[in-house]
Structure 1
């Protein structure tokens, strides 16, 4: 049996409308969409420019808090689009899909008329769906009135009428008058694209249930009760009774019992872990957690003052209260690891609990659990390891993402290049209180799998070049590849440097081909791989050199001349020598120009011009050559004496 799907969500501001549009047209990264879709995967069926079409319909006079438009999502359960294999995400029958699109658009135009501003078809996700923008104008007064136009009674009518329009296709309405609540587009969006198997409850879901919250995963579990394995047997029995019974009340009761079975399973799982994780997390020392939040001690061997991305932080260690803290910039304090993560990362209780779960050992959790819950606790930790909470919650706000692009452009990156990095997931926005930082993901090795999750992040405040970047999560590398496009080029070069911002500066300087970095400007270089290694260990060094040797790559070490950078350069140089890999260094150009970093060199080129700075570099090289000649002549004179 296939069911109609229709959901609406309010859009209250133009910024939200623009954010919606960037998702529709894929101008921003959409993780659940196919990264390499076919050309017709995104089709505008009505109104090519949603923002302009909505604005054109808005009345000149309107309340500041008025709902500007309703975003709608139309779809059907996967059995309709892929009847042979409903759980195979991303597959659909073209003829069935075309028939559903025609019927859906006909209903939309009949129901909403000119109030329908835009409609787009997405075929690049798990299940085909249409998203629409409808301006909630009162047909009589011409005023915005979402409360009346999309009230409960109207939403129920829309569900019924849309299902009638799809009835010739074998698609029916869900149970009318049931206790199911209308869900907004963003929540139901995930459910439409989910596989038909019941989702596993993560540690965060269970932690949320212990404090009386319902997460999206639990809602998904309930919404998919009709298709989940957990209640498939119950449903088959219920459906047989449906066919045998003429009594509508009995039919609805059978369906509700099946859904309640799935809900009971979810609640039973949550009760097994209730209280266990939270009690363990509360005992975690702040000094253990702070380094993983990008914080470092202001004074060595002292735990009372810390510096990090959300601003200065103090603890009350000296007063015998090591678990109390205070964030100076935010004027906010708290007690314990949960409050700390909530304040620094801006997450809620369940988010903080899930993030902190990585620090709780299996033995500690099992020992603290009730005897009958031991197996459940071990299973719980297995789930944490396979699907951990993200080490850093990136800001989804369109304004923050735009501000990050501006920060990248301010340090000399062209707008198209900055957008490309953001689209590839190599840069993001991270907000800590009032501070916005650029976040670069770290991976264990060369990042080639698009589904691989970062093991950590480096956050940089690009407006303060002297500020040292901060790491969240585990050590790793940040890297990207530049292809030269030279015909006949066959060389591969790996460039190792300290930070992502240094790598971007080196990339820009090398592309000028003005002689600043001759080792990176040769015509026979096919690919240049830039790798930031400021947060790596010996195991990373060995893997990086083994990879370089396997690729038959040449190495270029491009580190700043400071203690921190030298500490990362030296082990790489030693490993390269050990594996007999050709290695060059370009650090000398900084000392010749008395600059501290390649980021400073790039900004100097932009400020003074490449030609003028190159004259300075040439003069410095000549002066150095003469000094070396004088030193050698003096040594020869001493030898003769």
Structure 2
């Protein structure tokens, strides 16, 4: 009987990789193995849209980084279908909660950007995105660098999470390669499906190849009625996808420029606040100086009045000596 705890990772090395993964997570692109009638049961933690999470990730990434740096790591947590399907909903939630707690302990709570639970696929699973930041720098090798670290990570996860729920660890020291998140998605969602799936339609095949939803495809196909074959339709869809990719690059550039402008705006606001503080200090000093000068003038006037009184008294007495 299969009763293994399952943890998979995927290195995301570009903003495009992250955007594509988030689009899948938020069901903003067509997912053939997901049941639309159960999508309302999915849970998002840390963001409401892919764009919101994307902006959050961009704001946290260091400006200076290697071209081949791993920008984010996607984690997937689940268990063998046999044991997952026997767990109650409460038990599943507790298991996923402990998975995320384990992730926060290993990466730091601040580096856990977003997490969610998919209930609309055959086997429920939790997924999360972490930034491999180590003292402000991207350093994925600290966690995923080499076969031994991956094996130790699996053991640590089993000891601290899986074993608590009566799950076993995969065979330690096995020569089997670590299975990626993508390969897991391709396999686990079909393990417990007894009936054979229906043959997909041409539109579904085209949607899977291009990543477009059916509404986009309807528009595309309506403009391609004169195209004699499905092969030409796929070619047109691929050309459109390349055009959209170029537009995405332009949008990423524009977002970067906006970020720089916002940064400059912040510095200007900080400078203006400092000038205001300096102006207040100068006004305060001028006020203190004016008060001091007013006091000196008052003392001077008193002395002048005293001298004038003495002079008048002297003149009065002098008149007494004049015959």
Give the unaligned 5+ runs of structure 2.
232-323
Larger fraction in helix: 2
With over 3 angstroms needed to count, the CA separation of the structure-2 counterparts of 1:393 and 1:161, relative to structure 1, is same
Q: What is the SS of the residue equivalent to 2:38?
A: coil
1:447-486 equivalences under 5 Å are 460=224, 468-472=226-230
Structure-1-length-normalised TM-score: 0.32
SS at match of 1:65: coil
Shift of 1:24: 1.0
Distance 1:471 1:6 in 2: 43
Which among 179, 184, 198 is matched to residue 188 of structure 1?
A: 184
Q: Which of 149, 155, 159 is residue 160 of structure 1 equivalent to? A: 155
Pairing 1:95–2:96 present: no
**Residue of 73, 79, 82 corresponding to 1:79:** 82
Alignment-derived partner of residue 63 in structure 2: 60
**Structure 1 residue 166: Cα displacement:** 2.1
Q: Which residue of 2 aligns with 1:150?
A: 144
SS at match of 2:230: strand
Tell me the C-alpha RMSD between the 2 structures: 3.0
Cα 1:198–1:161 change in 2 (3 A) is farther
**Residue-pair matches, total:** 223
Residues 75 and 127, structure 2, Cα contact 8 Å, conserved in 1: yes
2:217 match:
428
**How far did 1:97 drift?**
0.9
Aligned ranges 1:353-432 → 2 under 5 Å? 387=199, 393-394=206-207, 396=209, 401=212, 422=213, 425-428=214-217
Higher normalized strand content (fraction of residues): 1
- Looking at structure 1, the residues matched to 229 and 37 of structure 2 have their Cα atoms a distance apart, in angstroms, of 31
**Separation in 2, partners of 1:149, 1:36:** 37
Q: What is the distance in 2 between the residues matched to 1:22 and 1:469?
A: 30
Q: 1:131 aligns with which of 127, 133, 140?
A: 127
Correspondence list, 1:107-506, <5 A: 107-113=102-108, 114-137=110-133, 139-140=134-135, 142-151=136-145, 152-164=147-159, 165-196=161-192, 387=199, 393-394=206-207, 396=209, 401=212, 422=213, 425-428=214-217, 439-440=220-221, 460=224, 468-472=226-230
- Gapped runs of 5+ residues in structure 1? 84-91, 201-382, 402-421, 430-437, 441-457, 461-466, 474-641
Q: 1:189 to 1:11 in 2, by over 3 A?
A: same
- Which has the higher Rg, Structure 1 or Structure 2? 2
The alpha-carbon deviation at position 56 of structure 1 amounts to: 2.6
By how many angstroms is 1:143 displaced? 1.8
Runs of 4+ residues deviating >6 angstroms: 197-200
Secondary structure of the corresponding residue to residue 194 of structure 1: coil
1:45 partnered with 2:40 = no
* Cα separation, partners in 2 of 1:199 and 1:184, compared to 1, 3 Å: farther
Q: Which structure ranks higher in relative contact order (CA pairs < 8 Å, sequence separation ≥ 6)?
A: 2
